[in-house]
Structure 1
């Protein structure tokens, strides 16, 4: 779900490389207001070209995070590379357009619609007359039926990661002819378009052995513009070749090589000519953009007038001049991913088990400043995310953040006071080894609102400390790609002149401020550097209850690719200090971050990301379902790692999935989102940026945003365009 910060890539439908649809969205019943879904904040940013302008042939070398462990997208260890291969080689009844909405895939379907609702829901699929598998057999009802049986959940011999939707099917039959498939549901299912995308042949789905092992290393039969030719795990490459039996528009490329390249090595691989297309981190993107000739800002790239690199292009350093030669022929395309970063609040135990405290934390955050910190330096729209269940442009989106309200210090303090946390209350001295309130371990330093390593604590304090963090982040050439919950590989590490003054107040341990030194239990962040007059009321006393300060353990990954995520965490810590909440930032290894801390509940605050889906009633329910006791006495949280849920939210999800009225289903989803906001288990912050380095002579590829790539239309522009020749022709 690559160190993406997306908790369970394989369980939730992978949307990191998918897009959305152009279906019209009706407004809520009885409502004449404009559709609150709006438009995507940033559209696809690709070099569009007509097929006539693209040369036949060539090999596209495309960076991926890893060679996939399985080619079966329905298994638990499937990843984004699995999804990319499936998109190029297998049928999908519905794909996604640039707005994040499902649309019929005309290569496989002439039509698909609900033809009966009483007594039961029946969907009739009419397949394209030419749709065949690579062995020449027609795609038909037998393939649909085999996939349903494998994913229905009725046979435990199939090792499936998910069966949502398939468990509601009652039967699948041939229609009036071989090109028609009738799917009858035992229970109404609003997200029926999510099914059979991708569709595997009956040879893969027909038996448990074939499902479990047959498609892990090879796809003998496929049906897309490309077929899987080979997987070389030693070399870290997957080779896709043009499908001679493809009935649609003939693929322009001869081959696509998916090459596993760590993110911190991609800039070097691009410069060496080993890659043509690669998602990169902001530091690498900046180097490439400085080397590329200026190009007009794409209207689809986000509506921001700010270019990626700004006026720095005027004067290049010696290193930048060298990069200009190394990255000649490349440019950076930018968009926003169909995923967002959130602040997770663990409501399972400690102070955050109290909803008033969680709401107090939420009201202390300035989400607009956090979004600006991450997105403004990239020239992308710096708007906070307003929904847990969809992003702007997707059909279910509406900004429901009003259910909890915006930044309000007085309201935050009032909520915390109502929960018994009193400003300046008596604080007992903790004995050695005693846990802080709401923390797993006491790792705080005297007077510190944010935990720093012993080495970090020796650095200079105040404004310089924050600037040093920004500079260090900006120096990173790329982000380290590892398993866990961080999205540091995707967000900018520099504050880049954010227009707030929080950096002015970042205090460090044991330093002199004004006329006195901070004392144990004092409030860091409330004092300006020595010689600065303190404004009235600037020093916020720490909150305490029952003799203990309100201290929250903020867990962050410590890898070099996570520096930018730690910058965001530090900024949040400063915001919380201003209402009297202390934070202890605990750095853990990237490898253990998600498994040992997020999933196991060993944290109070954490930052990680979720993808959004065109089918939130199906895909988002496990993330927000109310945890229930399991048979063995443990708590079954599904994917709800904040441990915050309500019966009402569960009921709204159940109602939304069971209605075939699309307007009513969207209304129920939006109501569920409002309740999720009010419970304050997670606070969406910003949509994740997507930066892609691509050769200037490559067409119809780049930053895809929500949209599903059209693999058959990718290729190299014909000679004479002024761009360098394809790598396969050099």
Structure 2
């Protein structure tokens, strides 16, 4: 997920929430992106017994949090940006659909929507929704009794590319398509739209009155993006008409063509755009797998690409070196052993390392040529609006006991885990304190105190209270049964495709990325093949502390958990985090056995199916947690057919109190009250210990050095019309995240 993480409301169980601003959002039954936060030690209290004073929100005089890392986009004024040019922007794959409200919409779908469609609200640098002046003069709640009414006043210049004014008819068509009342529309979500009772024209054609049947706090999430009535007016047009083309648009760019042969989506300037003109002539979204992005940047087929930490390291090396030392230089050349050693140290994959001398020499020469070209590229870095969590499956086994889940949480040093991933990248290593927002967003508060800091003694006391004791009798192992242990099971390893940094963002990365094969294990341990620099301890490094004398046991069974991970060359960082977590759990008597599975099966066959004890994946943050996060934490309920409906709650841990707080927050129009309710919900989520937020995901973007106003955007919606290439002689601002 990036399985998860990434993407998020009524969608198939294999998809998930996504960030606002074009990508599909959360009211669906699957994972992708959503938020979470509080603080204080509560040893044996259950989630339902938490004291109200502990859960009360902060006062209005509190200092708002700030984003941990700013944007890194080489910002310049528009007059320093050259007119014209083509930006070649890497995406994982061609979007299956251009309709963000369909279940198979992905990050590419959202990126296109941001550039070509109206969005009533977009996100600022703090991840907060702000009115988009290109489409809105204003939008506000004008009545609350007897019904909530929102009045939109549209920009009088706003028109569709066919010349028709954007107006009430488009709002009505989208509401009817997404309300859930007509099953002929294959929609992924209907949250918010299902609360609208009517939409009508205001005092003029530029005014739209939206009346709600029930109060809806997250009304700003609606109509972003807004499709023309040509797309939403009929089920056929909605279901099929906007999958491969958008004939009518209303943004600074329009969809020129989708070229499946070249794996390109070509966006060109919209001649009917009334706003600030786009600097670029074209934006070409080009599908490039993650393992080929360094080569694509080097040969010029890509100008902008999200990359993993190993490619970031490689680009940094290219920019630091005056000349790359090569074993091919000098008379007589070098032995194949030395060539292999050099190739291994420079991150070559296993197949290349073990090739014959002639083939390896060609690969080294190609690498050196690429390194020379990569000097025209730099890494722009920030933190993604998404966080990685440890998920605990509370539906069965030892983790069905809240005390065991809380013991796992108390065993973790989350600061150490954040440092493991982020410090080598020069990014702030601060643990995420919330499930429902990230630092900088209005709803953010560190609510982790509801579970408590790392404390091995408290963890062991929780386990003892749950009946897990050291030295208890173990039942004789049955013939053919494998004992639990720390070794990994890699039978599916060769089939896998690693996610970015090996982490999965729900709803974004549930696709194969054809990442190739894992490199040698000893290379990974040396920290020279993928993963964050410094993520691996050198061989022979001692464990942090002596391991417990023996496993804990109960009813003749050892306390052993199955830690499921994806395999693949992109999963090095994730694997490193899992190994560190396993070592922490070992100190309190919990044995976590790492089991690796293929990437294509990781989410659908394990996370969504509940076939795991522990897992790592990411969720995106949202500006609308009351709506988007509810399906991620809703209490699983029995369905009519006897199954259990978990929506997007893949930990299967939920409480009635959390559901009630979400419902109250979604219907509260007082923003301060809604914020406090979200924080209370987050405190209860922490206390239930179904998921433990760890760290905000790094956002690493490689960009051509003369490309400006583009890169690591952080929370903020990109301003597509300002992107472009520097005029000769002009200079971009220094990155806020570069030392």
Task: State TM-score, norm by structure 1.
Answer: 0.82
- Tell me by how many angstroms 1:620 deviates: 0.3
For 1:162-311, what aligned pairs fall within 5 Å after superposition? 162-292=189-319
Aligned to 2:128: 101
Aligned to 2:445: 398
Question: Given the superposition, is the C-alpha separation of residues 230 and 404 from structure 1 closer, same or farther in structure 2, using an over 3 Å criterion?
Answer: same
Aligned to 1:474: 528
Aligned to 1:449: 486
For 1:408-423, what aligned pairs fall within 5 Å after superposition? 408-423=455-470
- Tell me by how many angstroms 1:475 deviates: 1.7
| Contact 2:380/2:703 (<8 A) preserved | yes
| Contact 1:45/1:702 (<8 A) preserved | yes
Question: Given the superposition, is the C-alpha separation of residues 205 and 17 from structure 1 closer, same or farther in structure 2, using an over 3 Å criterion?
Answer: closer
Aligned to 2:499: none
- Tell me by how many angstroms 1:540 deviates: 3.8
Question: Given the superposition, is the C-alpha separation of residues 451 and 70 from structure 1 closer, same or farther in structure 2, using an over 3 Å criterion?
Answer: same
- Counterparts of 2:238 and 2:526, CA distance in 1: 47
- Tell me by how many angstroms 1:196 deviates: 0.3
- Counterparts of 2:57 and 2:374, CA distance in 1: 53
- Counterparts of 1:450 and 1:355, CA distance in 2: 27
Aligned to 1:668: 677
Structure 2 residue aligned with 1:348, among 379, 395, 398?
A: 395
Structure 2 residue aligned with 1:636, among 637, 641, 645?
A: 645
Are 2:593 and 1:555 aligned? no
Are 2:644 and 1:625 aligned? no
- Tell me by how many angstroms 1:559 deviates: 1.4
- Counterparts of 2:650 and 2:200, CA distance in 1: 40
- Tell me by how many angstroms 1:429 deviates: 2.3
| Contact 2:21/2:121 (<8 A) preserved | no
Aligned to 1:492: 532
Are 2:27 and 1:6 aligned? no
- Counterparts of 2:535 and 2:69, CA distance in 1: 21
For 1:287-686, what aligned pairs fall within 5 Å after superposition? 287-292=314-319, 324-434=371-481, 442=482, 444=484, 448-451=485-488, 468=522, 470-471=524-525, 474-476=528-530, 492=532, 494-495=534-535, 503-505=541-543, 526=546, 539-686=548-695
After superposition, the CA RMSD in angstroms is: 2.7
- Counterparts of 1:455 and 1:131, CA distance in 2: 53
**Residue 327 of structure 1: SS of its match in structure 2?**
helix
| Contact 2:422/2:428 (<8 A) preserved | yes
Q: Which has the higher contact order (CA 8 A, sep 6+)?
A: 2
For 1:117-156, what aligned pairs fall within 5 Å after superposition? 117-156=144-183
Aligned to 1:690: 699
- Counterparts of 2:638 and 2:523, CA distance in 1: 43
- Counterparts of 2:416 and 2:434, CA distance in 1: 17
- Tell me by how many angstroms 1:30 deviates: 8.2
- Counterparts of 2:292 and 2:20, CA distance in 1: 25
- Counterparts of 2:155 and 2:22, CA distance in 1: 25
Q: Per-residue CA shift, 1:173-194, capped at 9, x if unaligned?
A: 0000000000000000000000
- Counterparts of 1:42 and 1:10, CA distance in 2: 28
- Tell me by how many angstroms 1:290 deviates: 2.3
| Contact 1:11/1:161 (<8 A) preserved | no
- Counterparts of 2:458 and 2:22, CA distance in 1: 40
- Tell me by how many angstroms 1:3 deviates: 6.2
- Counterparts of 1:146 and 1:208, CA distance in 2: 11
Q: Per-residue CA shift, 1:163-211, capped at 9, x if unaligned?
A: 0000000100000000000000000000000000000000000011111
Question: Given the superposition, is the C-alpha separation of residues 176 and 571 from structure 1 closer, same or farther in structure 2, using an over 3 Å criterion?
Answer: same
Question: Given the superposition, is the C-alpha separation of residues 40 and 279 from structure 1 closer, same or farther in structure 2, using an over 3 Å criterion?
Answer: same
Structure 1 residue aligned with 2:59, among 31, 34, 48?
A: 31
- Counterparts of 1:43 and 1:69, CA distance in 2: 32
- Counterparts of 1:64 and 1:443, CA distance in 2: 43
Aligned to 1:74: 101
- Tell me by how many angstroms 1:293 deviates: 6.2
- Counterparts of 1:715 and 1:627, CA distance in 2: 48
- Counterparts of 2:554 and 2:657, CA distance in 1: 31
- Counterparts of 1:720 and 1:29, CA distance in 2: 52
Aligned to 2:83: 56
**Residue 561 of structure 2: SS of its match in structure 1?**
strand
Q: Per-residue CA shift, 1:440-469, capped at 9, x if unaligned?
A: xx463xxx334455999xxxxxxxxx9946
| Contact 1:544/1:550 (<8 A) preserved | yes
Question: Given the superposition, is the C-alpha separation of residues 2 and 390 from structure 1 closer, same or farther in structure 2, using an over 3 Å criterion?
Answer: closer
| Contact 2:7/2:18 (<8 A) preserved | no
**Residue 131 of structure 1: SS of its match in structure 2?**
coil
Q: Per-residue CA shift, 1:298-340, capped at 9, x if unaligned?
A: xxxxxxxxxxxxxxxxx99999975541212111100000000
- Counterparts of 1:217 and 1:695, CA distance in 2: 29
- Tell me by how many angstroms 1:149 deviates: 0.4
- Tell me by how many angstroms 1:503 deviates: 4.7
| Contact 1:287/1:323 (<8 A) preserved | no
Unpaired segments ≥5 residues, structure 1: 20-27, 295-314, 435-441, 457-465, 477-490, 507-524, 527-537, 724-730
**Residue 292 of structure 1: SS of its match in structure 2?**
helix
Q: Per-residue CA shift, 1:492-523, capped at 9, x if unaligned?
A: 2642669xx995129xxxxxxxxxxxxxxxxx
- Tell me by how many angstroms 1:95 deviates: 0.3
- Counterparts of 2:651 and 2:578, CA distance in 1: 17
Once structures 1 and 2 are overlaid, which stretch shifts more, 424-433 or 641-650?
424-433
Q: Per-residue CA shift, 1:659-705, capped at 9, x if unaligned?
A: 10000000000000000000000000010001001011111001001
- Counterparts of 1:474 and 1:686, CA distance in 2: 23
- Counterparts of 1:16 and 1:187, CA distance in 2: 24
- Counterparts of 1:94 and 1:375, CA distance in 2: 31
Task: State TM-score, norm by structure 2.
Answer: 0.81
Unpaired segments ≥5 residues, structure 2: 9-13, 25-55, 322-344, 348-363, 494-519, 733-739
Question: Given the superposition, is the C-alpha separation of residues 636 and 473 from structure 1 closer, same or farther in structure 2, using an over 3 Å criterion?
Answer: farther
Structure 2 residue aligned with 1:719, among 721, 728, 733?
A: 728
